Amino acid sequence: MNTPIVLAFSGGVDTSYCVLALREQGFAVHTAFVDTGGVSAAQKDWIRARALQLGAQQHHELQAGQALWDEFVIPLLWSGARMLEQYPMLCSDRYMIVASCLRLVDQLGSKHFAHGCTGMGNDQLRFDQSVRSLGDYQIHAPIRDLQRQTSKVRQHELEWLQQAGIEVPDNASRYSINENLLGVTLSGAEIDEFAAPRDDTRVWCAARADWPAGEASWSLEFAGGVPTALNGEALPGPELLARLNHELGAWGIGRHVYTGDVSIGLKGRIVFECPGIDGLLVAQRALQEAVNTRFQNQFRHIIAARWAELVYNGFFYEPQMADLHAYLHSSNRFVSGTVTLASSGGDIHAVAIDSPWILRDAESVYAQSASWTPEQAEGFVKLIGQSSTLAAKIRRQSS
């Protein structure tokens, strides 16, 4: 039928199989690699060659690194959100991938969009729900469809690729690897089995034996909650994050093993590495806590939990996201200044903060001096605890 269809294409086993399956169904497959960072020029050349080798009608390379920074990284930093207080949703480039691919679908005069998600994880929610929120399109999911035919999906894919003369890298057949500006995630093999990840699961984060000697420090400048400079050099957001990924990763910063609850009821386990995101979140939080009020800092955790829930579960384009972003933007108006990060390897700490907006009183320094009298402090302590004191007294009398 030669109807154009756009396939979100990474060059991995799943999306490679999708090209073959969609061609067999009669579609003219337009593969789209959406560059959200973290992939070298050589890798992108390999992805293009792989798409054409598989028989794609045309391969498209779309840029979304800046969109990922603007639409995801900034509100992530504003909220400090991590799913279950651990995982900073490195999967969120999916939303930029969908939006970019649908624009290509429109340009081709088509209504058909395809992805390589399985029927077992949350990515299918992120792709499908985003497509439905952004327009009226027909969704194709060849890997999910394959699960209707066989329980040995990976084996079936590899056999098809082998029959088509397509070589599969050894680590790709062992792990599912996703890499973008935000970080790297790996699943499969011993990771899925809750065993210790092998050494070859390290991608960006150096092992302890390879850490540099001594200690390193980095200076990050923020304006209105947005990182603007690294070590005194003004940089575009995506470049700043890419540089942090490289520099912090060399010190082993940002490597994690995470077990999460997939929406359909399974436990999902991944190894993930996000050196730059870890560094930015540590710096942002230190600055926020210094310049914002107690109530703002407490409420941020409530906002963060909802923001993470929506992003993780596929609701990036849910209308409530705009409401949350309005609050987060407002609460970061005065998050401006410079934070110094330091590390001797493995973890990272904010060791110094400089900002004109720090909430401090020259006459009152914690544990050193106060602008109130001891009598005022004693009265405050008595009154703030009055309800608890009365409850304890009355319940003792009644027992």
Residues in the chain: 399
What is the per-residue pLDDT for 109? 97
What is the per-residue pLDDT for 378? 92
Residue 171, pLDDT above cutoff 70: no
H-only helix segments in the chain:
13-24, 41-54, 65-68, 74-79, 93-107, 123-134, 142-146, 153-163, 170-174, 189-192, 237-249, 275-291, 294-312, 320-331, 374-384, 386-398
Rounded CA separation 139/255 (Å): 34
Question: Which two tokens mark 69?
Answer: 């920074």
What is the per-residue pLDDT for 32? 98
Judged by average pLDDT, the poorest of 66-70, 367-371, 389-393 is 367-371
What is the per-residue pLDDT for 264? 76
Give residue-wise pLDDT tens across range 104-126.
999 999 999 999 998 878 899 99
Percent of the chain with pLDDT over 70: 98
Average pLDDT for residues 213-235, to the nearest whole number? 98
Judged by average pLDDT, the poorest of 37-41, 232-236, 255-259, 263-267 is 263-267
Average pLDDT for residues 233-246, to the nearest whole number? 97
Residue 266, pLDDT above cutoff 90: no
Model confidence band, residue 164 (pLDDT cutoffs 50, 70, 90): confident
* Strand partners of residue 256: 272
Average pLDDT for residues 7-34, to the nearest whole number? 95
**Dihedral sign for Cα atoms in the order 222, 226, 227, 232:** negative
Strands 28-35 and 58-63, bridge-based pairing: parallel
- Provide the residue type at 240 as one letter: L
Average pLDDT for residues 77-91, to the nearest whole number? 95
What is the per-residue pLDDT for 95? 97
Rounded CA separation 113/117 (Å): 12
Q: Do domains 4-175 and 183-354 have the same CATH topology?
A: no
CA-to-CA separations, 231 to 218, 228, 341, in angstroms, rounded: 6, 10, 10
What is the per-residue pLDDT for 265? 78
What is the per-residue pLDDT for 260? 87
| Phi, psi (deg, nearest 5) at residue 136 | -105, 95
CB-based contact 98:8 (threshold 8 Å): yes
Strands 176-180 and 347-354, bridge-based pairing: unpaired
**Domain ranges for the chain:** 4-175, 183-354, 364-399
Q: Hey, what long-range contacts does 255-261 have (CB within 8 A, 24 or more apart)?
A: 255/202, 255/205, 256/86, 256/87, 257/191, 257/197, 258/84, 258/86, 258/87, 259/194, 260/83, 260/84, 260/87, 260/312
To the nearest 10°, report the CA torsion of 366, 85, 38, 239.
-30
Percent of the chain with pLDDT over 90: 79
Mean pLDDT of the chain, nearest integer:
93
Residue 366, pLDDT above cutoff 80: no
CB-based contact 34:64 (threshold 8 Å): yes
Residues 6+ apart with CB under 8 A from 296: 288, 331
Rounded CA separation 107/323 (Å): 31
CB-based contact 131:98 (threshold 8 Å): yes
Judged by average pLDDT, the poorest of 144-158, 175-189, 216-230, 250-264 is 144-158
What is the per-residue pLDDT for 288? 98
| Phi, psi (deg, nearest 5) at residue 271 | -100, 135
Give residue-wise pLDDT tens across range 190-214.
999 999 999 999 999 999 999 999 9
Give residue-wise pLDDT tens across range 284-338.
999 999 999 999 999 999 999 999 999 999 999 999 999 999 999 999 999 999 9
The DSSP symbol for 180 reads E
Q: How many CA atoms lie within 13 A of 43 on its CB side?
A: 15
CB-based contact 181:69 (threshold 8 Å): yes
The DSSP symbol for 70 reads I
* Topology of domain 183-354, CATH: Argininosuccinate synthetase, chain A, domain 2 (3.90.1260)
What is the per-residue pLDDT for 257? 96
Strands 112-114 and 4-8, bridge-based pairing: parallel
**Class level of CATH domain 4-175:** alpha beta
Rounded CA separation 112/175 (Å): 29
